[in-house]
Structure 1
Amino acid sequence: MTDALEAMKKLVEEIHLHNYYYYTLDQPTLTDQAYDKLYDQLVQMEKETGIVLPDSPTRRIGGELLKGFDEHTHLARLWSLDKAQNHEALDAWYARVQRLIQDYNSKHPDEPLPDPSFAVELKFDGLTLNLTYRNGELVQAATRGNGVVGEGILAQVRTIRTVPLTIPYKDGTVEVQGEGMMFLSVLEEYNRTAVEPLKNARNAAAGALRNLNPQVTASRKLDAFFYNVGYSNQIRFSNHQEMVQFLKDNRFKVNPHIRFMDTIDEVKAEVAKIEAMRHELDYLIDGAVIKLTDMRTREVLGYTEKFPRWAIAYKFEAEEATTILKDVTWEVGRTGKITPVATVEAVDIGGVTVQKCTLNNAGDIERKNLSRALGSLVYIRRSNDVIPEILGKVTEEEDGEAIVIPEQCPSCGSQLVEKGAHLFCENKLDCKPQLIGRLSHFASRDAMDIETFSVKTAQQLHKELGVRDPADLYDLTLAQLVGLERFGEKKAQNLLDALEKSKQKDLASFLFALGIPNTGKTTTKVLADHFGSLEAVMEASQEELVAIHDIGDIVADSIVQFFRDPVILESITRMKAAGVEAKPVEKKDLSQVQSVFSGKTVVLTGTMEKLTRDEAKERLEAVGAKVTGSVSKKTDYVIAGEKAGSKLDKAKELGIPVIEDEEQFLRMLGE
């Protein structure tokens, strides 16, 4: 056992090193196949020995569902930063710094402080992480909380690939601060296949890190940048440069955009550069952070009750505003989930008039002190062209009318059921929004791709012909459709032809069309590829499903329960009787495929004339390419269509081959 344990330790360290080069430095040292071989070897050894080392990379996939978060007291306080929003405020901060330094130097002429010099860093818009390492091992991770006490989220943070589970520094205890975030390209890729798209990157990261199921955190593929050592019982730094080098030496991911300068005018120029480039970044920032670099000066200047005197956050012009919260309505989705939607007094944010805002759930309303906020002034924020969100009330007083959280479904009146953070209506047979939502989803492009079908079509068929279930669509006749308003014979025949064509859709598309809870397009494709037939998927046990990579307990349980529902079973039986085949896609023998893309990493951006993004991705994967959502040094090709944006710019900056001619792309595919 001792020999096996030593072999596992060496293998773990080897994998950690390759992860560091791959995820943190963006300089892969192995092919994906060679890496997978090492990882599989470790998994096999863990099975044989029954031992999983504390820093094993296999722990990153997420473990058991947690019952709650434990409080964690930070070893050193996490401070907020005072804010400046213009040059005048920045000059006022600098004047205070100069005055404090001069005052100290006049009293200590034998040990004067140096003239101030500065570090300028990006101010990330994510969730603060505080990591504790003891003798080189990650032993705790926590949220900021109130700065003194946070919530322990070690299981969640372990899933972030850029967080080192062990570090070379073994000489004591350190606390390292950073920012957990979801990159915008990762959010875009996630939303392309998600059952419930995420509204913005910040909420996506915060929701993942505060989710009691670490597998949900793992599925979001979060990232993190690190910028501070808040506590150490051994090591001391003389300046900020030394601290940054310590972080780099210990395999933390440090953002490359750190600039060191000697004058406040240089700082102002750098802040202007950052503001100009903020929307070109693949992650959210909302400002810049200016810090004095000399550590002794920091100690002398100290802190106010809330802020360090030696640092300030320069906040960019906010994409935020205040307005009146007028009303909150509760909308029913196709899965029965009840979502609150706020109506606000029209306000302009960044050139866009906002009247609707998102509220995630009832808990979100309480957390943001909005329980009695109707008619009150609230903060709202708009980012990344998504639906704006309400951040909270402007005042803490309960000066508005109460938001009434429903107990019955606002559509059908059924009693609502609380599941996790959300309320659900379980009346899927007679709740109109659910019926319309399921019909629309079933017919959508990524599902059965029934041309000419729209939400209005679903509403009309439900209202006038009593269509309630996707199986009902295949019973429609020309005589029925022609009798409907705005349905001429040609339109009716087109719909029937589209329905007939949909019967040939593949198994993965059919599974996605069914709308299995907690599964998106990626999961249904995995199910189709793994089991090979609809019957096998329907009969799969929880154990069989969990054994599949990336399918956890919650998703597996959703699939099993879905195919036990007699309503679903009857619907599938009727569709099969109507001729819906749901055949698995025949896999090509990639050893026979001749394409320059085989084994290459490819990024798609922009739009094409002949192919949709999904069709292009399928064809690339069919010839053995790996299609990813973000451009990096590991990217081999970028396929750029019309209106390609920042990904194209980054590819050119990195010198990655770009194909902008669609015909050339098709020829390279071998078509």
Structure 2
Amino acid sequence: MSDAIARMEQLVAELNRLNYHYYTLDDPLVSDAEYDKLYDELARLEKESGQVLDDSPTKRVGGELLKGFDEHRHLAPLWSLDKAQDKEDLLAWHTRVQKLVGDYNEKHPDHPLPVPSFVVELKYDGLTLNLTYRDGRLVQAATRGNGVVGEGILPQVRTIRSIPLTIPYTEGTIEVQGEGIMHLSTLEAYNQTAAEPLKNARNAAAGALRNLNPAVTASRKLDAFIYNVGYSDNVSFSDHQEMVAFLKDNRFKVNPFIRFCASIEEVAEELEQIVARRHELDYLIDGAVVKLADMRTREVLGYTEKFPRWAVAFKFEAEEATTILKEVNWEVGRTGKITPVAKVEAVELAGVTVQNCTLNNAGDIERKQLKHALGSLVYIRRSNDVIPEILGKVTEEADGEVVVVPEHCPACGSDLVMRGAHLFCENRLGCTPQLIGRITHFASRDAMDIETFSVKTARQLHAELGVRDPADLYDLQFEDLVKLERFGDKKAQNLLDAIEKSKSRDLASFLFALGIPNTGKTTTKVLADHFGSLTVVRAAHRDELVAIHDIGEIVADSIVNFFADPIMKESIDRMLAAGVKAEAGAPTAAAEALGVSVEDSPFNGKTVVLTGTLTSMTRDEAKQLLEAAGAKVTGSVSKKTDYVVAGESAGSKLAKARDLGVPVVDNEEELRRMLGMD
């Protein structure tokens, strides 16, 4: 047994070293297969011996469901920060600092404080973490709470692979602070296959870390930046730079953006740069933090009742506001899902006039205490250029009118059923919004690409010609169309030609057009590439689907249930009988048709990410060209990405590519040359 324990200790040390290089330094030392081999050996030895070492990476996957959170009293308070909304506020803070330093130096001429210098760091929009290490081991992790007492979330934090379970410093107890975050690229990848997409990165991180099931936390693939040593019983620092060096030496992930400034003018310039580049980052920030760099000065200036006098948070333009909730309407989607949409009193938010806000479902209304909120003041938030969401009521009183959750479909009157967290109308064949939504989606550009087709066209064909299913489109006749209002001979023939042309769309486009629940373009492309035939896809078993990378159990169940549905079976059979081919595209044929050479193409077999706006072609056209050249086009940047093609206004994906050292093609002439088109 001692030999087994010795080997386990050896494996744990090696795996933790590899994790540090992979997750903290972005510098992988071995292939995934080599890492998995070591990990599997460790897991086998743990099972055989019945022992798991404290710092074993197997503890990061999430364990038993917890019954609740225990309180944790921080060893030192976690302070809030005073806020500066603009440059004038920043200069006012600086004036206060200068006065305090001047007053002290006047009273202590023999031991004066140095001339103030500053450090500027990013202010992350995630969840504050307080990590306790005793004799080099992580023994507790907690939320900020009220600054004195937080919630213990150690099992959840263990799943964050950039947070070390052990550190080289073993000479006492320390507490370090940081921020738990979800990268925007990680959120995007998660939502591509999630049965319940996450609304934004901040809520995704906070919700995962305060989830009683650590396995949920692990599934979100969170990260953390550490920025402060809040307590230590044995180590001290002369300045901020020394503290940052200590954090790095102890394998904590420190954000590379730390700027040391000799004057407040330099600070102001740095803040302008951060504001200009904030949307290029692969994580959310809502401002920057300005601190005095000298630790002795911090100690002398001390704290008010709420804030340290030696630091200030520079807040960006408000992305949160308050307004009146006027009404909640319940809209019916193409899958029958009933979604509440809030109408609010118009308010300016981050340069945009907001009148509509998202509410995820009826449970969302309960959680945010909006049940009695009509006519009341509510908080709204606009994050990452998405439709604003309502965060909750401003007051806790039930002082508004009741938001009524429907029991019947607002469109067709059918009884609603609860599936998971959402209400659904199951009247698929008689609910007009579902029928129109399904037909419109089927004809859309990324699906069957029926030119000139629109929601308006779908409504007219449904109302006047009884089109109730995508298969009905292939039964349309010229004589029927020309009788319709605004349909002359040319428009009728153009629509029929576009419908005829759609019969040649490839398998991936057809699968996407069908609107299989919980699948998007990425998943349907994976299905088409893996199975290569509609017949095989339709007959695929759950186990076959789950075995495919990026397809989980929920998505697999959705696919199997969809193709087993008699209504869907009949619809697909009718389309095939009408001449829809839905064949897998042959890469060489596609390349030939697009004038692209696969042989010797630098993109052949490579993983490519598109970001930004291209001027000489659309993103879809670029994707087709790259795939025809043998590339796999994905939606998120990682260490496994071979190229990033960046157009104008490229944001977080471009920034992450540069951080990871991924080659960037940012010139469209160069892109065409690499594709062999010029």
TM-score band, normalised by shorter chain: 0.7 to 0.9
Matched AA of 1:670: G
Is residue 481 of structure 2 the alignment partner of residue 474 of structure 1?
no
* In structure 1, distance between residues paired with 2:668 and 2:114: 58
* In structure 1, distance between residues paired with 2:92 and 2:577: 77
**Structure 2 CA distance for partners of 1:134 and 1:302, relative to 1, 3 Å:** same
**Structure 2 CA distance for partners of 1:11 and 1:531, relative to 1, 3 Å:** farther
Matched AA of 1:35: S
Structure 1-normalised TM-score?
0.82
**Structure 2 CA distance for partners of 1:107 and 1:661, relative to 1, 3 Å:** closer
Query: Which deviates further from its counterpart, 606-615 or 465-474?
Result: 606-615
Corresponding residue of 2:245: 245
**Structure 2 CA distance for partners of 1:580 and 1:624, relative to 1, 3 Å:** closer
Corresponding residue of 1:128: 128
**Structure 2 CA distance for partners of 1:299 and 1:346, relative to 1, 3 Å:** same
**Structure 2 CA distance for partners of 1:544 and 1:147, relative to 1, 3 Å:** farther
Q: Secondary structure at the match of 2:313?
A: strand
* In structure 2, distance between residues paired with 1:184 and 1:409: 35
* In structure 2, distance between residues paired with 1:210 and 1:644: 33
Corresponding residue of 1:35: 31
Matched AA of 1:73: H
Corresponding residue of 1:436: 436
* In structure 1, distance between residues paired with 2:655 and 2:133: 38
Corresponding residue of 1:416: 416
* In structure 1, distance between residues paired with 2:452 and 2:533: 29
Is residue 48 of structure 2 the alignment partner of residue 73 of structure 1?
no
8 Å contact from structure 1 (residues 194, 520) kept in 2: no
**Structure 2 CA distance for partners of 1:297 and 1:396, relative to 1, 3 Å:** farther
- What displacement does 1:94 show? 5.1
1:263-302, aligned counterparts within 5 Å?
264=264, 266-295=266-295, 298=298
Q: Which runs of 5+ in 2 are unaligned?
A: 592-596
Q: Of 645, 650, 666, which aligns to 2:672?
A: 666
8 Å contact from structure 2 (residues 587, 629) kept in 1: no
- What displacement does 1:387 show? 1.8
Matched AA of 1:612: T
* In structure 2, distance between residues paired with 1:446 and 1:54: 50
* In structure 1, distance between residues paired with 2:629 and 2:282: 29
8 Å contact from structure 1 (residues 12, 42) kept in 2: no
Query: Which deviates further from its counterpart, 562-571 or 99-108?
Result: 99-108
8 Å contact from structure 2 (residues 531, 537) kept in 1: yes
1:323-334, aligned counterparts within 5 Å?
323-334=323-334
**Structure 2 CA distance for partners of 1:609 and 1:344, relative to 1, 3 Å:** same
**Structure 2 CA distance for partners of 1:426 and 1:45, relative to 1, 3 Å:** farther
**Structure 2 CA distance for partners of 1:93 and 1:587, relative to 1, 3 Å:** same
Structure 2-normalised TM-score?
0.81
CA deviation profile, 1:448-469 (whole Å, cap 9, x unmatched): 2222222222222222222222
8 Å contact from structure 2 (residues 644, 662) kept in 1: no
8 Å contact from structure 2 (residues 598, 628) kept in 1: no
- What displacement does 1:534 show? 3.3
CA deviation profile, 1:537-577 (whole Å, cap 9, x unmatched): 34444433333333333333333333343333333333333
Matched AA of 2:602: V
CA deviation profile, 1:305-329 (whole Å, cap 9, x unmatched): 5444443212233244443322221
- What displacement does 1:594 show? 0.6
* In structure 2, distance between residues paired with 1:150 and 1:507: 52
Query: Which deviates further from its counterpart, 121-130 or 258-267?
Result: 258-267
1:512-661, aligned counterparts within 5 Å?
512-586=512-586, 593-598=599-604, 602-608=608-614, 611-621=617-627, 623=629, 625=631, 627=633, 639-641=645-647, 658=665, 660-661=667-668
Matched AA of 2:125: D
* In structure 1, distance between residues paired with 2:329 and 2:43: 51
**Structure 2 CA distance for partners of 1:609 and 1:515, relative to 1, 3 Å:** same
* In structure 1, distance between residues paired with 2:490 and 2:23: 55
RMSD: 4.5
* In structure 1, distance between residues paired with 2:419 and 2:325: 27
Corresponding residue of 1:500: 500
Corresponding residue of 2:225: 225
Q: Secondary structure at the match of 1:226?
A: strand
**Structure 2 CA distance for partners of 1:395 and 1:158, relative to 1, 3 Å:** same
Query: Which deviates further from its counterpart, 194-203 or 570-579?
Result: 194-203
* In structure 2, distance between residues paired with 1:69 and 1:475: 59
- What displacement does 1:167 show? 4.3
* In structure 2, distance between residues paired with 1:436 and 1:132: 56
Corresponding residue of 2:594: none
Q: Which runs of 5+ in 1 are unaligned?
A: none
Query: Which deviates further from its counterpart, 595-604 or 642-651?
Result: 642-651
Identity across the alignment (%): 72
Q: Secondary structure at the match of 2:317?
A: coil
* In structure 2, distance between residues paired with 1:153 and 1:503: 54
How many residues align? The count is 665
8 Å contact from structure 1 (residues 195, 520) kept in 2: no
* In structure 2, distance between residues paired with 1:43 and 1:537: 34
- What displacement does 1:116 show? 5.1
Matched AA of 1:575: M
* In structure 2, distance between residues paired with 1:265 and 1:383: 29
* In structure 2, distance between residues paired with 1:86 and 1:628: 39
1:106-125, aligned counterparts within 5 Å?
117-125=117-125
8 Å contact from structure 2 (residues 175, 231) kept in 1: yes
CA deviation profile, 1:361-392 (whole Å, cap 9, x unmatched): 33433444433332233343434432223344
CA deviation profile, 1:157-185 (whole Å, cap 9, x unmatched): 56655444554445666544323334456
- What displacement does 1:358 show? 2.2
